[in-house]
């Protein structure tokens, strides 16, 4: 720590405190995440290890936040990240005016390039959301917070927890208890895209049951015809919803272009295997028609700590601690009441 001069405290998570700091010798501004080991902990917290492992597996990439160094400090250790000015959630909520189509395309291109790079390097992020997409002082978007990430094998066979992803961006198969694959990231990309188009979240459920209701209200009640694997999901028989037809996505994102809606449809589909990959999405006509994606220098720059949004924004360098899934064993009347409240 003697190498750094602390400039201020900028965030706090379950596993550490984040500081803005300057490297004394080089003058470089960085973010320091100090992780303290609790007395009862047996070694380094799993989430910290996952983040370190995932970021060390990734070579330098302009669309992934750079972990510059890790070193021991006191009873814990410090992760040194490149300093980023803001995050996409603050841009969405605090911009003076809605994002233009060109700006949305610019952000989406950077997000998709980052996701494609992660997946091509066998890394599932598993917690993509606007608060984990950092924005630099030059307008570049970079994926951050790999505390729930997994480095997976193409050989398959390994099971991963379904208790991942912040609820609003959580894929429906996770809500039904399925162990996940990279499809959960692609669903989250669709949710982020919709939020950029509407300037508000697509599926803002207050609990896991209502989250499913939000999704089913838009995409319709799933069945074996449109989602053949649904009957195999662990919680499929524990929860029942009334039949509900889908709502055209054109009504959900009314100001979006036809090509934007078409791309959104390619992410927000029930079977994970049918979702567009990030690399495929980058070739969609949406990105090659006027207006073209904005250059990063044309994107809004928002100082952290600007206008306050209605919900507390998690600092992007914080480790994610997601709430456990609520029990799916709920009476049908209660489920119907939740769904009815959304109509």
Domain boundaries, the chain: 4-82, 86-298
Tokens 């997946």, residue located:
119
Binding-site annotation: residue ranges: 33
Side-chain-facing half-sphere of 59: CA atoms under 13 Å: 3
180 closest CA partner among 241, 239, 224, 234: 234
Distance CA(72)–CA(44), nearest Å, equals 11
- What pLDDT is recorded for position 336? 35
- What pLDDT is recorded for position 145? 86
- What pLDDT is recorded for position 293? 98
Which helix (H) or strand (E) segment is 32 a member of? strand 29-36
- Cβ-based neighbours of 57, under 8 Å, separated by 6 or more: 121, 122, 123, 151
Binding-site annotation: residue ranges for ATP: 33
Active-site option among 2, 87, 127, 208? 127
| Spans of the chain below 70 pLDDT | 13-15, 38-47, 96, 153-165, 179, 303-343
What is the bridge-based pairing of β-strands 4-12 and 150-151?
unpaired
Domain at 86-298, CATH homologous superfamily: Transferase(Phosphotransferase) domain 1 (1.10.510.10)
- What pLDDT is recorded for position 166? 80
Which residues pair with residue 319 across a beta bridge? none
Distance CA(5)–CA(209), nearest Å, equals 47
Q: Is 127 marked active-site? A: yes
Domain at 4-82, CATH homologous superfamily: Phosphorylase Kinase; domain 1 (3.30.200.20)
Distance CA(210)–CA(268), nearest Å, equals 17
Q: Can you give the C-alpha Rg of the chain in angstroms?
A: 20
- What pLDDT is recorded for position 42? 53
Four-point Cα dihedral 236, 237, 241, 246, nearest 10: 30
Q: Report pLDDT digits (tens) over 79-104.
A: 899 999 999 999 998 876 789 999 99
Which helix (H) or strand (E) segment is 134 a member of? strand 133-135
- What pLDDT is recorded for position 316? 47
- What pLDDT is recorded for position 15? 60
- What pLDDT is recorded for position 211? 92
């Amino acid at each position: 720590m003697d190498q750094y001069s602390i400039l201020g405290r900028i965030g706090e998570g379950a596993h550490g405190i984040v500081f803005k700091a300057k490297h004394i010798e080089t003058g470089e501004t960085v973010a320091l995440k100090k992780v303290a080991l609790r007395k009862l902990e047996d070694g380094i917290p799993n989430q910290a290890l996952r983040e370190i492992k995932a970021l060390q597996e990734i070579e330098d990439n302009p669309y992934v936040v750079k972990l510059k160094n890790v070193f021991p400090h006191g009873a814990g250790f410090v992760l040194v990240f490149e300093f980023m000015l803001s995050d996409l959630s603050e841009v969405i909520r605090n911009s003076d005016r809605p994002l233009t189509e060109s700006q949305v395309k610019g952000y989406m291109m950077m997000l998709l390039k980052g996701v494609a790079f992660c997946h091509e390097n066998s890394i599932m992020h598993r917690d993509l959301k606007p608060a984990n997409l950092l924005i630099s002082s030059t307008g570049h978007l970079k994926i951050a917070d790999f505390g729930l990430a997994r480095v997976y094998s193409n050989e398959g066979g390994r099971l991963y927890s379904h208790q991942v992803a912040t609820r609003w961006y959580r894929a429906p198969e996770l809500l039904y208890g399925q162990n996940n694959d990279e499809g959960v990231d692609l669903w989250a990309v669709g949710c982020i895209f919709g939020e950029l188009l509407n300037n508000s979240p697509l599926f803002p459920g207050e609990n896991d049951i209502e989250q499913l209701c939000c999704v089913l209200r838009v995409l319709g009640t799933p069945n074996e015809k449109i989602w053949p694997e649904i009957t195999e999901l662990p919680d499929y028989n524990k929860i029942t919803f009334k039949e509900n037809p889908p709502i055209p996505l054109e009504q959900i994102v009314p100001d979006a272009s036809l090509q934007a809606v078409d791309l959104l449809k390619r992410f927000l589909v029930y079977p994970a295997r049918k979702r567009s990959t990030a690399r495929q999405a980058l070739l969609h006509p949406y990105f090659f028609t006027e207006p073209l994606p904005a250059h990063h220098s044309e994107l809004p720059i928002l100082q952290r700590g600007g206008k306050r949004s209605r919900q507390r924004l998690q600092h992007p360098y914080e480790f994610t601690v997601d709430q456990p899934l609520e029990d799916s064993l709920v009476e049908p009347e209660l489920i119907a009441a939740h769904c009815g409240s959304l109509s």
